[in-house]
Structures are given as structure tokens and as C-alpha cells.
Amino acid sequence: MKFTTKITMLLVAVFMTTVSVAQEKKQASPAATAKGTISGANITINYSSPFVKGRVIWGELVPYNKVWRAGANAPTTFETDKALKIEGKDLPAGKYAVYVIPEKDAATVVFGKDPKMSAYDYDQAKDQLRVKVKTKKSAKMNESLVYTVNKNNVTLSWENLDIPVSVK
């Protein structure tokens, strides 16, 4: 076997090993999607789901009174194919960035007109809708952040906290 053939085979083997290891590595905050129907509207929430990993989330990792992207890696998006009432306020059909401004016992949930705008570039002038909701203690510990679309609300659950948002 020629030397160049051996080198080529070695390089192919190294490349294949690198690709397989890269595919096996889990993302720290994997992409997730929550889907459901409320009042005839199809709702899709795309987000990245971070883990608690022994950290204190509310008030520390996610500071109170500051805009948070309501997920990890990239803006969380909320999409509806029909107009909805969010906490009694109108939200037209469309795709929105979702932000949360947590407080000790409440949270402001923001639907931003630009679904690509990050929390770092957040501009309140681009809000479509803001609603304030009461938070509540979760029934269980949620190691990873999860959104659920229920029959009359959408809930963000992470650590020991639920942020339910009424949807009609």
C-alpha cells in the first residue's frame, strides 16, 4: 500500500470519528417546540430549553426586573394563525418574540413584533403586547424549561415556578 493511500485512509478515519463525536454531543440547551390549539388557533412556540443544573434560577440566573428571552440560545418565538385574547388583550395572528420580565411573585410577558430581536437588543417600542401575570409554585421540580399549550393558557415552567398566561 502506498504511503499516500495510508495517509488518506488515516485522514478519513479521523474525519469520521470527529463527525460521530460531534453528533453525539448533547446541546446544553436543546431546541424544543410546544404546539397546541386554543380557541381554534394553532399555536407553535419554538425555544431552547436550558437546565437548572443545581443553580438558583429566579432572581439569580434570571434576574428580577430585567428583560429575559424566555429560553436560551436564541429568541423564543410564539406563532398563532388566528387572533387571540392574551390576558383579555388582543394579539393579532402572527409570529412574535417572547420575553419575560420576572418579579418576585409576578411576571410581565412581552410579545415583540420582531421575532428575531434578542433580549440584548430589546426595544420596548417594538412590543406588540405586554401583559402582567401572577406566577405560581410548580406542582413539581422542572429540571428543564418547558412550555405547555393547554386548553385555555400557555405555561412556562422551570425550576419550581410556573408562569401561566391566559389565552382565548
- Give the model confidence (pLDDT) of 49-106 as tens digits: 999 999 999 999 999 999 999 999 999 999 999 999 999 999 999 999 999 999 999 9
- Is there a domain that residue 5 lies in? no
Per the domain annotation, does 106 fall within a domain? yes
Contact by Cβ (8 Å): 97, 77: yes
User: Would you place residue 24 in the very low, low, confident or very high pLDDT band (cuts 50, 70, 90)?
Assistant: very low
Q: Is residue 86 part of a domain?
A: yes
As a whole-number percent, the residues of the chain with pLDDT over 90 amount to: 84
Which among 67, 85, 69 has a CA at the least distance from the CA of 77? 69
90 HSE (CA, 13 A, CB side)? 2
Specify if 48 maps to a domain.
Answer: yes
- CA 116 to each of CA 3, 51, 142, 148: distance values in angstroms, whole numbers, following the listed order: 51, 23, 27, 22
User: Is 20 a domain residue?
Assistant: no
Distance CA 63, CA 59 (A): 4
Q: For residue 52, what are the domain limits?
A: 28-166
Among the ranges given (23-37, 51-65, 120-134), the one the predictor scored with the smallest mean pLDDT = 23-37
Question: What pTM value is reported for the model?
Answer: 0.84
In a domain, 68, yes or no: yes
The pLDDT confidence band at residue 134, using thresholds 50, 70 and 90, is very high
Q: Has residue 111 been placed in a domain?
A: yes
102 found inside a domain: yes
pLDDT score of 80: 98
Indicate the number of domains in the chain: 1
Mean pLDDT of 146-159: 98
Q: What pLDDT is recorded for position 21?
A: 45
C-alpha cell of residue 72: 436560551
